[in-house]
A and B are shown apart, each in its own frame.
Chain A
Amino acid sequence: MNIHEYQAKELFDRFGVPSPKGKAASTPKEAYDAAKWLDVTNLVVKAQVHAGGRGKGVFKSGFKGGVQLVDSPEAARDVAAQMLGEVLVTKQTGEAGRLVRKVIVTESVNIEREIYLAILMDRESRRPVIIASTEGGMDIEEVAAKTPEKIIRESVNPLAGLQAYQVRKLCEALGFNTTARQFGRLLHALYKLFIECDCSMVEINPVVVTTDDHVYALDAKFNFDDNALFRHPEILAMRDPEEEDPREVMASEYGLNYIGLDGNIACLVNGAGLAMATMDIIKYYGGEPANFLDVGGGATKEQVVAAFKIILGDPVVKGILVNIFGGIMDCDVIANGIVEATREVGLNLPLVVRLEGNNVEAGRLTLAGSQVALVTATTMADAAQKIVAAVK
């Protein structure tokens, strides 16, 4: 799950991670009020969308730049008016762009130097790892590839937590001296936030040292562990469905895992591993999968109906492959669910169904006798070949 910059700032404020003073605004008037409240002449107004490259982005209205420096509340209001309700296209949004519903107005700071700082859950060591670099503001993967010696890693024992000596080590390696205490406080606060909010990653690129010796987190990217959101209603409330693929939003409402892809053969599978393997076998036989869709270990009629609706919402889809390994569930129940679902959604695309498992003979008879235009298959290979042939 992603969050907006203004929401990241709320979390920073709550945990004491210093960031420039600012406020979110939904209207030009609110932007004016925010600027007035800040009471400074060095202001920045930033469009709030879940995409990078905002500074160089262009609005569909022709207005250039999703990040603007201004010097008065009036100017903040005028710039906000150019952004709010407009669609911003950046290198990460694709041509469709993103509608800007909020801006954030903050104090702009004079930067002396920039640091890269991230904490992530390292699955190999099973520990939180702090990653830092003096090369702040750059693409960190590029830094890691070209100058790996400039990447500092510090692993934290999860039972002991971040130790003072580790902070001192990092301060030394990153060249902090007069501002070391400030950076130390930021790091402790960020680690606490990382743990308490069940983050899988938090990245600040950059942490800046200002010309007047302040340390601030300037931008932030958060990844939260979806498994832990149940105990963080305040973070779940930050979810912005407008920023997500509507098909994925609908899928999650029905307990389905859906991810849209570029191909034209949709698939509907029970279990994540088998779903990936089904995409792979479509490709193996020369087709292109249109999606990943895992209906879970079971697969009820309601889920299958919702899954078909999501699949059919993609105009590129030319055929559907259903692959169910009904280990414990009765395949006949699943077969009936599929038949009813196809009737309910009025399916008129080629459909291949491969059913295997418990009481499969009855399930196959149900499919065959259903009068629904579908093709049955016995093995995964058989199914994939049939659907690839059907869409060609």
Chain B
Amino acid sequence: MSILVDETTKVLVQGITGSFGARHAQLSIDYGTQIVAGVTPAKGGQTFDHAGKKVPIYDTVSAAARESGATVSVIFVPPAYAGDAILEAVDAGLELVVCITEGIPVMDMMRVRAIMEGCKTRLVGPNCPGIVTPGRGEKSFGGCRIGISPGYIHKRGNVGVVSRSGTLTYEAVWQLTQAGYGQSTCVGIGGDPINGTSHIDVLKMFNDDPETEAIIMIGEIGGSAEEAAAEFVKQYVKKPVVGFIAGQTAPPGRRMGHAGAIISGGQGTAADKMKAMTAAGIHVVVSPAEIGAALARVIGKG
């Protein structure tokens, strides 16, 4: 088991002919992920060829989903059109939409989320590295890689990872893999102020997933999602959780790269989040280099 996706998941790529989307569609195919369709308006009927595979391209998401049986979409569409791309995937009835695009206007995401109210589709991201359920092959190949994470840093195992960041997540995953701890699924929920899936949503899935034995939760300054997640952990999560918050040294009032990473009006500091998480029984590390070691300690093998 894993959460959200596994090696049988059929994935379509919105924006498969753009350079960024194409590159990562290739890497996912190499990883063993079932990329079954692509969508690029006005390029329907063409194919996306890689490693002996011919992935059919469609004009619309609904046609792509209907013809290919894809249940998941990954979006590499530029920011100005990404909101529309998300809603198109929702309209097509997909189970899961993973939006990688960085730089979507907040107003667009506000409308998208308001329209998605009550829909069955789950959105992960935007501005996220995506989702990886590692495979059982060499360097974790044979798994499901949706997005832009480097596949080879993973290893199949029992640690669930949820994070707002990209490269910091790779760092944490790499520490785990180096220490011999594989991952059930790694979910990047994204660095934007308005996103689809929260820390809590993912924690809940990891808590219910029999394969996941421990959880790494990586947050950062801004908002209060980590505080809410801490409260959830305190009440419901039975598995050990190791946490880290990036931005302990960030000045107030400045946006630290991610659109959502800002301390405003004294709210959203790392100190507050770490305090709430510690109070909830989460093993909070101060140094980002200690994430793997702390996980080893809490599950008693290190």
A residues bordering B, Cβ < 8 Å?
Answer: 121, 123-124, 126-128, 141, 157-159, 195, 198, 200, 225-228, 230-231, 257, 259, 261, 269-284, 289, 292, 294, 297, 325, 327-328, 356-358, 379-381, 384
Contacts and interface: CB of A to CB of B under 8 A. Distances in A.
Determine the main DSSP class of A at the interface with B: mixed
A271 B261 CA distance: 12
8 contacts: A127-B114, A226-B259, A273-B191, A273-B220, A276-B261, A280-B246, A282-B249, A284-B286
B281 interface: no
Contacts of B289: 281, 379-381, 384
Interface string B275-302: 0000000000011111000000000000
A280 B248 contact: yes
Given A123-B223, A283-B248, A380 B165 contact: no
B166 A297 contact: yes
Given A123-B193, A200-B106, A272-B261, A327 B150 contact: yes
A276 B221 contact: yes
Contact of A280 (B150, B247, B261): B247
Contact of B106 (A225, A277, A289, A379): A225
Interface of B: 23, 27, 79-80, 103-111, 113-115, 148-150, 152-153, 163-171, 174, 191, 193-194, 218, 220-221, 223-224, 244, 246-251, 254-261, 265-266, 270, 286-290
A195 B150 contact: no
A58 to B, nearest CB: 24
Contacts of A275: 256-257
Top 8 A-B residue pairs of the complex, sorted by shortest distance between their CB atoms: A273-B165, A272-B257, A271-B167, A327-B150, A273-B168, A228-B105, A381-B289, A276-B246
A270 B129 CA distance: 13
Given A227-B105, A292-B250, A277 B174 contact: no
B287 A284 contact: yes
B191 A228 contact: no
Nearest to A382: B289
A126 B194 contact: yes
Contacts of A124: 223-224
B79 A227 contact: yes
Query: Most chain-A CB neighbours within 10 Å: which of B107, B152, B246?
Result: B107
Contacts of B148: 297, 327-328
B86 to A, nearest CB: 14
Nearest to B24: A328
B286 to A, nearest CB: 6
Contacts of B254: 259, 292
B250 A227 contact: no
Given A273-B246, A284-B286, A227 B259 contact: yes
Which of B109, B110, B266 has the most chain A CB atoms inside 10 A of its CB? B110
Given A124-B223, A127-B110, A158-B111, A274 B105 contact: no
Contacts of A195: 107
Contacts of B168: 271, 273-274, 276-277
Contacts of B259: 225-227
Contact of A198 (B106, B170, B174, B221): B106
Contacts of A357: 150, 153, 170, 174
